[in-house]
Structures are given as structure tokens and as C-alpha cells.
Amino acid sequence: MAPRQKKQRTEPKYELLYHPEIPGRGEYIRLAFEATGTPYSDVSNQEKNGYKKFQNLITDANPPVFAPPALLVHGEDYHGKPLVISQTSNILLYLGPKLGLVPEGDKIARYHVNGLAITALDFCSEAHDVHHPIDIEQYYEQQKEEAKKKAKSFTKRRIPKFFGYFETVLSENKEGDGKYLVGKSLTYADTTLWQVLEGIEFAFPKTVAKLSKTYSLLFSNFRENIKEHEGLKEYLTSDRRLPFSIGIFRHYPELDA
């Protein structure tokens, strides 16, 4: 893991380009920075006129950004402009080795970390689609009946399927001691899955309460361990940590078991 650094007053190398005020998919990137004490600017939340700057930067990127989050990297020009990378798992793939969030000296393990992060992000996307099964540009209230139907299959079958999968990953990674998905130290697959579990519990507290005893590695060893990591522990009690609200993960009691 990269040594923890104090936040700098000079311009940081990394700028996170994401919507303001919600954790959303930007949170997966924040967790990677915070877990390793890496200086970064959360442009929309921390800079004056940051939201405007965020919009300009993602509009100006080449290749263009389909949807945020995106990452701007100073000192890494691409075709004469600062490098901008998009797609959540792609940003994490780029940052992983630089921040020490992949197993050291094991290039193959990087593909496992990437694959597991993608699977955790798929779980996140499915949780979003539960409250927006028909049309992402309409309100939840306009698709509430369909959402209730989708919530049934999600809570009964999909949540247990994902929980069971990650429980097996933890139990089969012998050197991880039930605490890490790959290898014996923190990777961005861990921080990403951890955040998805937080979101799933926020959105579906009753379902998680019922299931959490069944998946004991996931809910005792893994989940409790991750949040005790030095950088994360401090971050989670800071005002930089944004609460869930009506973003990707939403708590509608009628959608919970």
C-alpha cells in the first residue's frame, strides 16, 4: 500500500469528476483514494464553481465520457490534453497498481481483482434498476408498481446469489483469512464490494438483517475488517463521506422484504 500522505495545498495529481452531493459511483473512486491516503480533488464537492468545472471537463474529454465518474490525471497527457479516463471499473483498474490496491508483484491477480470489482459493480447496477425498472428518466413514483415486482425477485434471488458468490470467494481465498477477496491485503475489489454492501443494507435493511447470519464471512470478517483500515476509518467519520439518499441506493420500505 502507498504511504499515507497529508492532504496537499498544491493541486493534486488526481481530480475526481462526478455529480455533487451524492456518493453514487464516485464513491468507489473516493474509497480507493481515502484508503491509501492519496491526495485528490473531488471537484464538484470541494472546488469553487466545481460543478461547472466538472461539466466542462467531461464535455471536453477525448474520447468523450458516456457517464460520470471520470478521472482527470495531471502529468499524463493524451493527445495534448490531460488524461481523462471513464467507466468506474476502468478508473479503478488504472489507479489500482499506482495506489497499491492490487497484490504486489502478482500480475495475474490484477485480473481477479478487476473481475470481482466488475461483479460488485454489476450488483450495484441491479440494485439501482430495482427502483427504476422501466425508465431512468422518469420518477420512481411513475414506475412503482413495476419496481415492487422487480424487488421481489431481487430480494429473494439476486441478493442471495451475490452474497453467496462473494462468501465463496472469501472462503476459497485461503491467504485472505476471510478478510480480503484476493491475496492477503486490501484491494479495490474489497473497497468496492464493501461500499455495495453498505448500499444494499441502506436500501434493503430487513432483507440484509435476515440474510447476514447466513453469510458470516462476508458480514462479520470482511465487512467489519474493511472499515477498520486506517485511511477508511478516518474517512468514514469525516464530513467528506456523503450519506446515501436518493441516488443509486434508495430506501423505499415497500421494496424491502
Joined grid coordinates for residue 67: 457517464
Binds a second copy by CB under 8 A, chosen from 150, 179, 223, 250 = 150
Q: Give residues 60-99 in contact with a second copy (rule: CB under 8 A).
A: 62-64, 66, 76, 78, 83, 85-87, 89-90, 93-94
| Closer Cβ to a second copy, 17 or 231, answer by number | 17
In angstroms, give the least distance from the CB of 20 to a second copy: 22
Is-contact 83 72, C-beta < 8 A? yes
16 forms beta bridges with 42, 71
Instruction: Return d(Cα 188, Cα 119) in angstroms, integer.
Output: 12
CB of 234 to a second copy, least distance (A): 30
Binding to a second copy in span 208-227, by CB under 8 A: none
CB of 203 to a second copy, least distance (A): 18
In angstroms, give the least distance from the CB of 181 to a second copy. Answer: 7
Distance CA 145, CA 148 (A): 5
CA distances from 173 to 123, 185, 217, 236 (A): 21, 11, 12, 27
Give 40 or 166: the residue with its C-beta nearer to a second copy.
166
CA atoms within 13 A on the CB side of 71: 26
Among 173, 187, 191, 195, interactor with a second copy by CB under 8 A: 173
CA 25 to CA 7: how far, in whole Å?
23
Q: Closer CB to a second copy, residue 67 or residue 209?
A: 67
Kindly state the smallest distance separating residue 4's Cβ from a second copy, in Å: 26
Q: How far apart are CA 101 and CA 246, in angstroms?
A: 29
Amino acid letter at 78?
Y
| x/- map, 108-137, a second copy, by CB under 8 A | xx-xx-xxx-xx--x------x---xxxxx
From the CB of 121, what's the least distance to a second copy, in Å? 10
Alpha-carbon distance values, 48 to 22, 43, 69, 82, 193 (Å): 17, 8, 19, 20, 32
82: helix, strand or coil: strand
Residues that bind a second copy (CB under 8 A): 62-64, 66, 76, 78, 83, 85-87, 89-90, 93-94, 108-109, 111-112, 114-116, 118-119, 122, 129, 133-138, 143, 146, 149-150, 152-153, 157, 165, 168-169, 172-173, 181-182
